[in-house]
Amino acid sequence: MRISERKLSHFFKRHHLLFVSLFLALYSLHLALTYQKDIPRGYVVRQTLAVIMTPLEKLLLGSQRAAAETWSHYFFLVGLKEENDELKRQVVELRSENDRLMEAAALDLRLRELFQYKEAVPWHSTAAGIVAYTGSLWAQTVTVNKGASDGMVKDLAVITPAGVVGRIVEAGMSTSTVLLAIDVRSDIDVFVERTRLKGVVEGNGSDGMVLKYIMLDDDVVVGDRILTAGITGIYPKGLVVGEIIKIEKSRDNFFKFIEVRPAVRFSTLEDVAVITDTGFFAKD
């Protein structure tokens, strides 16, 4: 019950004797005036009641109208909420579909780059996707979705168009484990592109590499690119390994301590190419 209705009910209960007395007085006045011909029967009573009841009727009609409007607004809000929930659901579906399409487009772009790279180089390779990553102080490896059934064997080189990723160290039936170039167990025969100096790049177990066996008087500078030398037969000669970012004098006072930034960004690696040819050796 609305507040105005409760007040009206309380008012009638509190003054019911007054209303009864008023009714009896009006009825007596009605009987007293009925004999006069110039005054219509019940005229006084009707006019008096009209004066009294008009405000009450307006109050009741206002309460009824307010209640109807409240219900109307309630059903409107319920419908609006349902419509809003449906719109939210459609937005979520559209966002999900948009994300799926963007991911498919990104995958298509990566595979297209691998295919173009594959067509441009003189060796055979197959594309593979990374399905697992192991990163710790003791192991920096990834698992790819190609295995022995796809022709994968130990010591096949794994690369991207950007440069060297690593090599396969274990080939299962449908997946293979790749030892990344930043693993401490990784060592790659390399040379400095500008000066042709030979050395070995080893992983630092984190996110970088170290160029070893460069003597103090050797000509190397920050910014020099490091390429594969093709001596061990695992990697073709001339693949980009990284770039020198720091040069210091080592503790033995014989060799330089050189930090190398990898050409490949391993934290965002998703697709690679596995070189299926073997026996790459330097010809000079």
Q: Which domains does the chain have, with CATH numbers?
A: 3-78 (no CATH), 125-275 (2.40.10.340)
Q: Beta strands of 83-162 (E only): which ranges? A: 125-135, 140-144, 157-160
Kindly state the tokens that stand for 181.
């170039």
Question: Which pTM does this prediction carry?
Answer: 0.63
Q: Cα dihedral sign for 152, 154, 157, 158?
A: positive
Coil, helix or strand for 34? coil
Q: What's the burial of 196, exposed, middle or buried (CB within 10 Å: 0-12/13-18/19+)?
A: exposed
pLDDT tens over the chain, length 284 residues = 455 555 556 665 666 566 666 666 655 655 555 544 444 555 555 555 555 556 655 655 556 666 666 666 666 666 666 777 777 777 777 676 665 656 555 555 665 676 676 666 788 889 999 999 987 767 899 999 999 999 999 999 999 989 999 999 999 999 999 999 999 999 999 999 999 999 999 999 889 999 999 999 999 999 999 999 999 889 999 999 999 999 998 888 889 999 999 999 998 898 999 999 888 777 65
Alpha-helix runs per DSSP H in 16-42: 16-33
